[in-house]
Amino acid sequence: MTVLAETSERGLRKLTLSVRRPGENVPAVVWLPDSDAARWPAVLLSHGGGLHKEARYITRLAERLVRDLGCAAVAIDQPYHGERTPPGERGLTPLERRSRIGLDAWRARNSSATAQAVDDWQATIDAVRGLGAGEAAPFGYFGLSLGTRFGIPLTAVEPRITCAVFGLFGHPGAGDVDAAGFAEATRQITVPVLFLMQWDDELFPRDGGLALFDRLGSARKTLHANPGSHTQIPPPEMVSMIGFFRRQFRGGDQASTD
């Protein structure tokens, strides 16, 4: 791991990292409370399709996690995204990239990158622990859409992740190269989950979202659904997410009504 840059502003430190990997290093950003706490929980922030590690909703969520909860937050450029975008697709909007490649091929390419994304996140967890997180500090996961495509297989195999926000995805998935593997991973999830759906999602039909929520193996899971299209999640869900992580890191959903 190499620290490429460090800034600090109003109690919030931000490190720009390169996580060393065989083949291709993973560009990462870590947001931290500006204190020497040796142990903090950290939330892995997995961006959506066509976006990158400093997409606006990612950085806003990171800042809330640090300032409101005293957590760390970590984002990476996932395969084919951010600094890892293939040369022919650079400078294009997510919609332009998807149109150029075609939705089915776009989804198949993302799906085929699942194992890589899981490896990248596991190496990133190792790196973040090296920054000072205690051995026992838990990790949360946040990832919608592409972030759920990668996050369900990751959470199924990664015991250091103790809670997750998923959503904007379906069962069956979309363009999955290993639909059976994804379905099995969904069943294997046991950590508490907050699952977000958009009731009028144009990319993932309603029934598939409901089916994916239903299949999650977790005993403690909550579905939040709101009217609107794929990207129109209303502002109160930011509050829901912060509240969800607060409850988990303080000892579980059942322990408190605060």
The gap from C-alpha 156 to its chain's centroid, in whole angstroms, comes to: 14
Judged on CB neighbours under 10 Å (0-12, 13-18, 19+), 122 is middle
Considering beta carbons, is residue 34 or 207 the nearer one to its own copies? 207
Kindly state the tokens that stand for 133.
């997180």
Strand pairing class (193-198; 161-167): parallel
Alpha helix ranges (H) inside 38-167: 56-69, 94-101, 103-112, 114-130, 146-157
**What is the DSSP code (8-state) at residue 253?**
G
According to CB under 8 A, which residues from 201 to 240 bind its own copies? 210, 213-214, 219-227, 234-236, 238-240
CB of 208 to its own copies, least distance (A): 14
Q: Which residue is it, tokens 């859409």?
A: 145
Based on the shown chain and the rule CB under 8 A, indicate whether residue 22 belongs to the binding site for its own copies: no
Considering beta carbons, is residue 127 or 194 the nearer one to its own copies? 194
Question: How far, in Å, CA of 209 to CA of 194, rounded?
Answer: 13
Kindly state the tokens that stand for 107.
């989804």
Question: How far, in Å, CA of 196 to CA of 186, rounded?
Answer: 15
Residues touching its own copies, count (CB under 8 A): 28
CB of 114 to its own copies, least distance (A): 27
Based on the shown chain and the rule CB under 8 A, indicate whether residue 250 belongs to the binding site for its own copies: no
Question: How far, in Å, CA of 101 to CA of 50, rounded?
Answer: 12
Question: How far, in Å, CA of 184 to CA of 249, rounded?
Answer: 27
Considering beta carbons, is residue 173 or 209 the nearer one to its own copies? 209
CB of 12 to its own copies, least distance (A): 18
Considering beta carbons, is residue 131 or 238 the nearer one to its own copies? 238
Based on the shown chain and the rule CB under 8 A, indicate whether residue 119 belongs to the binding site for its own copies: no
Considering beta carbons, is residue 108 or 242 the nearer one to its own copies? 242
Span near its own copies by CB under 8 A; candidates 39-47, 90-98, 173-181, 247-255: 247-255
| Phi, psi dihedral angles at 223 (to 5 degrees) | -100, 130
CB of 82 to its own copies, least distance (A): 26
CB of 209 to its own copies, least distance (A): 11
Span near its own copies by CB under 8 A; candidates 24-32, 105-113, 121-129, 249-257: 249-257
Question: How far, in Å, CA of 74 to CA of 176, rounded?
Answer: 26
Interacting residues toward its own copies by CB under 8 A: 197, 199, 210, 213-214, 219-227, 234-236, 238-240, 243-244, 247, 253-254, 256-258
